[in-house]
Homo-oligomer: A and B are copies of this chain.
Amino acid sequence: MISSPPKPAKPKFATRRRLIDATARLFAEHGYNGLTMRSVAHEADANLAAANYHFGSKDALVLEMLSERIQPINKRRIALLEEAKQRNGKLAPSAHEIFHSLIFPIGEEIARSSKSRWSLAQLVARTFTEPVCFIERMHQKFFSQIAKIYYQELSLAFPNAPTNEIHWHLHLAVSSMLGALAQHRRLRDFTEGVCSEEEVGEMINRLIRFVTNGFIMGINSSSAE
């Protein structure tokens, strides 16, 4: 034997990390109920008991994964929003700048995660559509604060618009964003091959413009009455 030959598939990353990454992929593809501890263990090249050893339970594993994926996006959102505010001096950011700060960070993360590119888009969208109740709780924890911030920012940008109209249109804009993220993988089929889903930036930019237009036109026609 020559000096302990390297094991054929020696894991480069810690088991914990591989488990989280495997969980992210499988959750995005199959949802919470479709994700099994056995499939996670297999995908991560780990033992079945490893996930319970490192995280305690399936719920805790998924929560840890979601927290790790979502928190950076939210931080980036706030950063971009602050950037826009400082760039404009005392002027409130425009609707386009506001929705850019909301949606663009998702595109950045999608582009960063080179492996199975659109997995993250599905993952983000799935956190909103999963029927499992503990995910709803986590979801509220992560997003209710963000929602409040964006409502306030839009109120400053449209000082003449009625309160409930801003709420309604922000709700529609966020829903559209999530729907588009969830449906994006169907773009090619839906358009019979005319449009392809390869370019992350193009899709994100189109989405930003779409919800910005829907928001502005809706708000303007409501405050014109």
Closest to A217 in B: B213
Among A8-16, A50-58, A61-69, A203-211, the one that faces the other chain is: A203-211
Given A176-B176, A179-B177; A171-B147 close (CB under 8 Å): no
Please tell me if the beta carbons of B206 and A213 are within 8 angstroms of each other in the complex: no
Please tell me if the beta carbons of A147 and B210 are within 8 angstroms of each other in the complex: no
Q: Collect the chain B residues with CB atoms within 8 Å of residue A221's CB.
A: 209
Closest to A26 in B: B131
Q: A176–B177 Cα gap in the complex (Å)?
A: 7
Given A33-B33, A131-B29; A171-B191 close (CB under 8 Å): yes
Please tell me if the beta carbons of B175 and A183 are within 8 angstroms of each other in the complex: yes
> At the interface, yes or no: A86 with Cβ under 8 Å from chain B?
no
Distance of A62 from chain B, by nearest CB (Å): 14
Among A71-79, A102-110, A122-130, the one that faces the other chain is: A122-130
Distance of A217 from chain B, by nearest CB (Å): 4
Number of interface residues of A (CB under 8 A): 52
Please tell me if the beta carbons of B147 and A174 are within 8 angstroms of each other in the complex: no
Q: Collect the chain B residues with CB atoms within 8 Å of residue A186's CB.
A: 171
Among A41-49, A87-95, A112-120, A162-170, the one that faces the other chain is: A162-170
Given A147-B190, A175-B176; A183-B213 close (CB under 8 Å): no
Interface string of A125-149 (1 = CB under 8 A from B): 1101111100000001000100110
5 other contacts beyond A164-B191, A164-B195, A213-B218, with CB at 8 A cut-off? A31-B130, A172-B176, A172-B206, A172-B210, A213-B213
Interface residues of A (CB under 8 A from B): 29-31, 33-34, 125-126, 128-132, 140, 144, 147-148, 163-164, 167-172, 174-180, 182-184, 186-187, 189-192, 194-195, 206-207, 209-211, 213-214, 217-218, 221
